[in-house]
Amino acid sequence: MSDHDSTPASGTADVLDRLAAVIDARKPAAGGDPGQSYVARLLHKGPDGFLKKIGEEATEVVMACKDADHGADRQKIVNEVADLWFHSMVALAHYGLAPRDVAAELARREGTSGIEEKALRKAQAREAAGD
């Protein structure tokens, strides 16, 4: 397993784009069959099902990281983050969004320090409150 960079960034984007296309093809309007497809089943049931899974998978990511802090296999983190990304992608598709929308937001944030952004946000909130 890599510590950083054995997978090229384009490969990462490609796999997310391919998965997004499969998820779109499983939508009810595209004829996805809940009897044959886990994604179709999730989309057919509506948001509550996949939103619950996102909450569960996020908790499992936290637990896998805490376990790794105590010597457990880091692959468990990868597996749980994959589950979280997958279910988050089902949510994106349901709401008519795609990985490129998230990538565009991350690109927009590139080079903006989180500390500066937070300070700016607080200043704007103070201004809006008339302080």
Ligand X SMILES: N=c1c2ncn([C@@H]3O[C@H](COP(=O)(O)OP(=O)(O)OP(=O)(O)O)[C@@H](O)[C@H]3O)c2ncn1[C@@H]1O[C@H](COP(=O)(O)O)[C@@H](O)[C@H]1O
Q: Does 26 bind ligand X (CB under 6 A)?
A: yes
- C-alpha distances (whole Å) from 43 to each of 15, 53, 58, 80, 87 are 20, 12, 19, 21, 11
CB nearer to ligand X: pick between 39 and 77: 39
Nearer to ligand X, 44 or 115 (CB): 44
- 37 binding ligand X? (CB under 6 A): yes
Size of the site for ligand X (CB under 6 A): 9
Among 40, 64, 84, 93, binds ligand X (CB under 6 A): 40
Q: What's the DSSP call for residue 30?
A: G
Kindly state whether residue 88 participates in binding ligand X, applying the rule CB under 6 A. no
Sign of torsion, CA 56 58 61 67? negative
Does residue number 80 form part of the binding site for ligand X (CB under 6 A)? Answer: no
CB atoms within 10 A of CB 95: 9
